[in-house]
Homo-oligomer: A and B are copies of this chain.
Amino acid sequence: MQYAEPIDRLIKAFTRLPGIGEKTAARLALYILNSKREYVDEFAASLLGVKENVELCSECLAFSEKDPCRICTDSGRDASIVCVVSDYKDMMALEAMGAYKGRYHILHGNMAPLKGIGPGEIRIKELSSRIQAGGIKEVILATGFDSEGDATSMYIARLLKPAGVRLTRIASGVPVGSFVEYMDGATLGRAMDGRKEV
């Protein structure tokens, strides 16, 4: 006994989402079956909507409704500072913090040689071009502190060094609200190395 073909097809579509297994997909598909038509229409339209109405800002490569995006056209922000992040989500997290008033560059991934992702597979070339075009004084490297994020930042730092811009990396250490006793050695090592006069 199998689900009816249209249900099976929907289950398959749900299964492709990250973190959604076969059982959850079936549960979601049956929820859709029991849902009002208006919601399902809205869901389908919003799926197509992001593909039709969202593009990449040609400047910073963030997802945006217009090109250039709101941040790149905001005259209240400092165009001479560019914060380099791996992912759009990282940019959103930094924006949620609210204190940063420069611009961004989204790499859309990290270098991962073991997975065959070299510098050419992520948006490093576009970053180089922005630096070459001039007007940028500082590049803040804000990729993650896992091995891939570290390697990506290191590669970019070496690549941009000749351009003569200031290159900085966000700090690594013990997160606010965390206890030293629960921290892993690598984090404590970084926290020690990054210590400051008080």
Chain A residues close to B by CB (< 8 Å):
1, 3-7, 9-10, 12-13, 16-19, 24, 26-34, 37, 39-54, 63-65, 87-89, 92, 95-96, 98, 108
Q: What is the bound-complex CA distance between A42 and B6, given in angstroms?
A: 12
Q: Are A54 and B6 in contact (CB under 8 A)?
A: yes
Across the interface, name the chain B residue whose C-beta is closest to A88: B30
Identical subunits present: 2
Q: Are A24 and B19 in contact (CB under 8 A)?
A: yes
Q: What is the bound-complex CA distance between A43 and B42, given in angstroms?
A: 13
Which residues of B have CB within 8 Å of A39? Answer: 13, 16
Q: Are B10 and A18 in contact (CB under 8 A)?
A: no
From B4, B50, B64, contact of A10 by CB (8 A): B50
Across the interface, name the chain B residue whose C-beta is closest to A1: B95
